[in-house]
Amino acid sequence: MNAKSDIFATISIAPHSIRNLKKKLPHTTSTIYEVSEDLVCEGLAVAGREHGNVVIDVASTCCARKLREIYLKSLNYSKKDNSNFIYFYQ
């Protein structure tokens, strides 16, 4: 997966802070910031502050919610053999 897909798949499961994304994903800090900003600009994600951290979540637009469903279904079907996959992203 590319960085954009990784980040969108991760926030599709649950909202994450930038700090958590930096710890969990194998991408550089600048890439995570740039992709997060791109997702927000495209209307697929929203950013907010919570306890001093920037939290990224899937936007409530129709397109973003539909794309979220597609990502969750594909993650669910592609990782049936690995039951620990979902726990990695939470």
Tell me the per-residue pLDDT of 44-89, one tens digit each, with 9 for 90 and over.
999 999 999 999 999 999 999 999 999 888 877 765 555 544 444 4
Q: Provide mean pLDDT across the span 11-32.
A: 93
Q: Domain 3-89 belongs to what architecture?
A: Orthogonal Bundle (1.10)
Q: Provide mean pLDDT across the span 21-31.
A: 93
Domain-wise residue ranges, the chain: 3-89
Instruction: Dump the DSSP string for 24-64.
Output: HSSS-HHHHHHHHHHHHHTTSEEEEEETTEEEEEE-SSHHH
pTM greater than the 0.85 cutoff: no
Q: What are phi and psi of 57, to 5 degrees?
A: -140, 165
3-state DSSP assignment of residue 88: helix
User: Tokens in use for 16?
Assistant: 């994450």
Kindly tell me if the per-residue pLDDT of 43 is higher than 50.
yes
Q: What is the 3-state secondary structure (H, E, C) of 7-28?
A: HHHHHHHCCEEHHHHHHHCCCC
Residue 40: per-residue pLDDT: 95
CA-based nearest residue to 71, from 26, 22, 13: 13
